[in-house]
C-alpha cells in the first residue's frame, strides 16, 4: 500500500501541505498586489525628503526591479524565493534573510515564554473553576477572563510597564537586554502582556471542556459505582484535556502573530516590530517575507496539532483524519 | 422574586458614558485639540488639567473624551457591515448550499487561517488610505466569522418544522430565507455583532496605536496611547486615561454580549 493511499496519514499530510503552499502563494500575491495599488514609492522613501534626481530614482528602481511590469516583478520575486533568496531590504540594503535571522529568535522566545505562562496559568485555573463551578473562585476568574479576552495587549502592556517598570521599578522599561538571562528578564513583562488575553481564552476553553465532561453519563456511573472523587477526576481530565491540548497548539500560532503589538509596545527588536516599521516604509521584500513566515508558522502549528490529535485520541485514529 | 440583572447594569454604565462622549464631545471637551507647546507636558493634578497634558500641551482628559468618537464609530460600522455581509452570504451558503457554499467556506477558511491583526496591519498599512479605508479593510477581514456563524445557524433552522411547512406552501426560496429564516437567526446575529464591536474596537485602536488609520493630530485612544508611551516617566495620565477607557469599553461590551448570549441560549433550551 502506498503512503498516498486514500484515507492514509501520508495522503492527509500531503494534502494539507499542498493547501498550505497554495495559501502562501495566494497571500504573497495579495501582498504584492496591495503594494502596487498604493500611492507610496519606496524609491522616494529611500532617497529621503530632498528632491532626488531622476537618475538616482531610476537607479534605485532598476536595482529593486521596481521599473518592471507588475506580474514580471512578482515572478522574479517568486523565482528567487524558490531559491531561498528573499531579496534585499530596500530600507537597510541588508539581505532579508539576515535581517530576519537577527530578530526571529527574540520573537520565538517571547512567544514561547508567553505560551508557557498561558498554559501554566490558564489550564489549572480552568480546571479548578470547573471543579467548583458557581463558587466565588469560579465567578471571579470568569469575570476576569471576560475582561482579559477583550483587553488589548498594547493598553495592558503600557499599564504593566508603568506599574512594574516605572512606579515599582522592578522590571526594565525598554529594549531586549544583552542576551541570555538578561533578555529573558526583559521579556517577562511583554510575555505576561501577551499571555493575558490568550490565557483568558484558554481558561474559558478548559473550564467549558471540563464542565462538559463532568456532565457525561460515565461520570455519574463512576460515582454510583463508588469510585473515589480523585479517580473520577482523573478520568474526566484525560478526556477533557484532549480538546484543550489541541487548542493550545493553535494558541502558539496566535501568540506568534500577536507579537507585533507587544514588541512595539515594549520596543523589542523582534520580527513584529520590524514588520510594523517596514509597512510604514513600504519595504516590500521584508513585509512579504515576514507575512509569509508568520502564515507558515501558523499553518504548520495547525497541522502539527491535528497530527497530535491523531496521536493522543484513539477515536480519531480509528475514524481516520478528514 | 426576579433576580436583578446586575450584568447589564454594570456594563451599561460605562457604555452610556462612552456614548455620551461620542455624541456630545464637542460640548464636553471643546478644547481637546488646543495645543500649548510652551507648557508641554504637565503631570496629573495640574490646575485646569486633572490628568495633566501631553507633549503638545493638550489636556489628556479632554483629548480622551474627544477620542471616543474615532475609537467607537468605526468599530460599530465594521461590526454592522460585516454582519450584513454575514447575513447575506451566510444565509445563501447555508440554505442554497452547493458550489456557492463550498466557495464561501473556502474563502472563510483562507481568511481565518491568518492572524487578523497582522493582515489588518499589512493591508491597512500598505493601502494607507485613512480612516474609512481602514474600516472597509477590517469589515472584509471580520466577515468570514460572521458568514460561518450565520451559515451554521441557518442550517440549524432549515430542518425545523416551520420551514418544512413553508416549503409545502410553495413559498419562494427568497421568501423562506429572508422572511422566515433570517428573523430567527437575528438574535444570535445581533449578539455576535455586539461582541464584534469589542473586537473591532481593539483592532482599530491597535492600528492607530501603530500609526495607521488615524491621521496625526486627530483625537483617538490608540493614537493617544502611542503618544503617551513616551511620557511614561512624566505623566502617567497620558497612558492610564486612554488605556482604561479602551479596556473598560471593550470589557463592558463583552460582558453585555456574554450576558445576551446566555439569555438566548437559555431561551433556546426552554423552547
- Give mean pLDDT, residues A254-276: 86
Confidence class for position B99, pLDDT limits 50, 70, 90 = confident
Q: Comparing C-alpha atoms, which of B60, B73, B83, B100 is closest to residue B18? A: B73
- Give mean pLDDT, residues A171-192: 77
Give contacts of B208 with chain A, Cβ < 8 Å.
none
Q: Which of A147, A158, A266 to mutate to test the interface with B (most CBs of B within 10 A)?
A: A158
Element (H, E) at B138: helix B131-158
Burial level of A197, CB count in 10 A (0-12/13-18/19+)? buried
Residue A116: what are its φ and ψ, rounded to 5°? -60, -45
Does this complex have an ipTM over 0.90? no
Partner-chain contact B118 A150, CB within 8 Å: no
Residue A38: which of B113, B127, B226 has the nearest Cβ?
A: B127
Q: Residue B82 has what pLDDT?
A: 94
Burial level of B27, CB count in 10 A (0-12/13-18/19+)? exposed
Q: Comparing C-alpha atoms, which of B53, B40, B214 is closest to residue B130? A: B214
Element (H, E) at B100: helix B98-112
Partner-chain contact B247 A156, CB within 8 Å: yes
Residue A94 burial (CB count, 10 A): 12
CA dist A188 and A186 (Å) reads 6
- Give mean pLDDT, residues A128-136: 86
Q: Is the pLDDT of residue B181 over 70?
A: yes
Confidence class for position B86, pLDDT limits 50, 70, 90 = very high
| pLDDT tens profile B214-256 | 877 788 888 888 888 888 777 888 888 888 899 999 989 988 8
| pLDDT tens profile B1-27 | 457 777 788 888 889 888 888 888 778
Q: Is the pLDDT of residue A68 over 90?
A: no
- Give mean pLDDT, residues B70-74: 90
- Comparing B247 with A33, the larger pLDDT belongs to B247
- Pick the most confident of A41-50, A212-221, B49-58: A212-221
Give the number of beta-carbon pairs within 8 Å between A and B. 126
C-alpha cell at position B70: 474615532
Residues 6 or more apart in contact with residue B35 via CB below 8 angstroms: B56, B57, B58
Confidence class for position B81, pLDDT limits 50, 70, 90 = very high
Burial level of B28, CB count in 10 A (0-12/13-18/19+)? middle
Q: Residue B79 has what pLDDT?
A: 94
Burial level of B90, CB count in 10 A (0-12/13-18/19+)? buried
Burial level of B219, CB count in 10 A (0-12/13-18/19+)? buried
CA dist B62 and B57 (Å) reads 12
Confidence class for position B269, pLDDT limits 50, 70, 90 = low
Q: How far is A233 from chain B (nearest CA, A)?
A: 27
Amino acid at each position: 500500500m502506498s503512503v498516498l493511499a486514500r484515507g492514509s496519514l501520508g495522503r492527509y499530510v500531503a494534502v494539507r501541505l499542498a493547501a498550505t503552499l497554495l495559501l502562501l502563494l495566494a497571500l504573497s500575491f495579495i501582498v504584492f498586489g496591495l503594494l502596487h495599488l498604493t500611492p507610496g514609492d519606496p524609491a522616494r522613501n529611500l532617497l529621503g525628503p530632498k528632491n532626488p534626481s531622476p537618475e538616482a530614482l531610476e537607479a534605485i528602481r532598476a536595482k529593486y526591479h521596481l521599473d518592471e511590469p507588475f506580474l514580471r516583478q512578482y515572478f522574479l520575486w517568486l523565482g528567487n524565493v524558490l531559491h531561498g533568496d528573499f531579496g534585499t531590504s530596500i530600507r537597510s540594503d541588508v539581505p532579508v534573510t539576515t535581517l530576519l535571522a537577527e530578530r526571529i529568535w527574540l520573537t520565538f522566545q517571547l512567544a514561547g515564554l508567553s505560551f508557557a505562562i498561558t498554559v501554566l496559568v490558564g489550564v489549572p485555573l480552568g480546571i479548578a473553576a470547573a471543579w467548583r463551578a458557581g463558587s466565588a473562585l469560579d465567578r471571579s476568574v470568569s469575570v476576569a477572563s471576560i475582561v482579559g479576552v477583550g483587553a488589548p495587549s498594547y493598553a495592558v502592556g503600557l499599564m504593566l510597564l508603568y506599574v512594574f517598570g516605572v512606579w515599582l521599578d522592578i522590571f526594565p522599561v525598554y529594549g531586549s537586554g544583552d542576551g541570555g538571562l538578561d533578555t529573558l528578564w526583559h521579556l517577562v513583562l511583554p510575555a505576561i502582556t501577551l499571555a493575558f488575553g490568550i490565557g483568558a481564552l484558554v481558561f474559558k476553553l478548559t473550564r467549558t471542556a471540563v464542565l462538559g465532561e463532568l456532565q457525561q453519563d460515565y461520570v455519574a456511573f463512576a460515582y454510583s459505582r463508588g469510585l473515589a472523587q480523585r479517580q473520577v477526576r482523573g478520568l474526566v481530565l484525560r478526556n477533557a484535556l484532549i480538546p484543550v491540548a489541541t487548542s493550545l497548539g493553535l494558541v502558539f500560532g496566535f501568540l506568534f502573530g500577536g507579537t507585533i503589538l507587544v514588541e512595539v509596545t515594549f520596543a523589542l527588536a523582534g520580527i513584529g516590530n520590524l514588520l510594523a516599521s517596514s509597512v510604514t516604509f513600504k519595504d516590500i521584500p521584508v513585509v512579504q517575507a515576514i507575512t509569509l513566515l508568520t502564515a507558515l508558522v501558523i499553518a504548520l502549528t495547525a497541522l502539527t496539532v491535528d497530527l497530535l490529535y491523531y496521536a493522543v485520541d484513539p477515536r480519531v485514529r480509528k475514524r481516520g483524519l478528514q | 422574586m426576579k433576580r436583578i440583572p446586575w450584568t447589564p447594569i454594570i456594563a451599561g454604565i460605562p457604555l452610556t458614558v462612552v456614548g455620551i462622549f461620542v455624541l456630545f464631545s464637542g460640548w464636553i471637551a471643546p478644547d481637546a485639540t488646543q495645543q500649548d507647546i510652551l507648557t508641554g507636558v504637565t503631570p496629573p493634578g495640574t490646575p485646569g488639567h486633572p490628568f495633566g497634558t501631553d507633549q503638545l500641551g493638550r489636556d489628556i482628559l479632554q483629548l480622551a473624551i474627544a477620542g471616543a468618537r474615532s475609537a467607537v464609530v468605526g468599530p460599530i460600522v465594521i461590526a454592522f457591515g460585516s454582519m450584513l455581509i454575514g447575513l447575506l452570504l451566510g444565509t445563501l451558503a447555508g440554505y442554497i448550499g452547493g458550489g456557492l457554499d463550498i466557495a464561501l467556506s473556502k474563502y472563510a477558511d483562507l481568511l481565518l487561517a491568518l492572524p487578523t491583526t497582522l493582515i489588518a496591519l499589512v493591508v491597512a498599512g500598505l493601502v494607507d488610505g485613512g480612516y474609512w479605508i481602514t474600516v472597509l479593510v477590517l469589515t472584509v477581514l471580520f466577515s468570514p466569522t460572521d458568514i460561518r456563524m450565520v451559515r451554521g445557524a441557518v442550517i440549524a433552522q432549515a430542518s425545523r418544522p416551520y420551514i418544512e411547512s413553508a416549503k409545502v406552501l410553495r413559498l419562494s426560496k427568497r421568501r423562506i430565507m429572508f422572511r422566515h429564516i433570517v428573523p430567527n437567526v437575528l438574535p444570535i446575529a445581533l449578539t455576535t455583532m455586539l461582541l464584534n464591536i469589542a473586537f473591532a474596537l481593539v483592532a482599530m485602536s491597535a492600528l492607530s496605536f501603530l500609526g495607521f488609520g488615524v491621521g496625526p493630530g486627530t483625537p483617538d485612544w490608540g493614537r493617544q496611547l502611542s503618544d503617551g508611551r513616551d511620557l511614561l516617566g512624566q505623566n502617567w495620565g497620558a497612558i492610564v486615561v486612554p488605556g482604561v477607557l479602551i479596556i473598560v469599553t471593550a470589557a463592558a461590551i463583552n460582558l453585555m454580549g456574554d450576558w445576551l448570549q446566555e439569555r438566548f441560549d437559555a431561551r433556546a433550551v426552554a423552547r
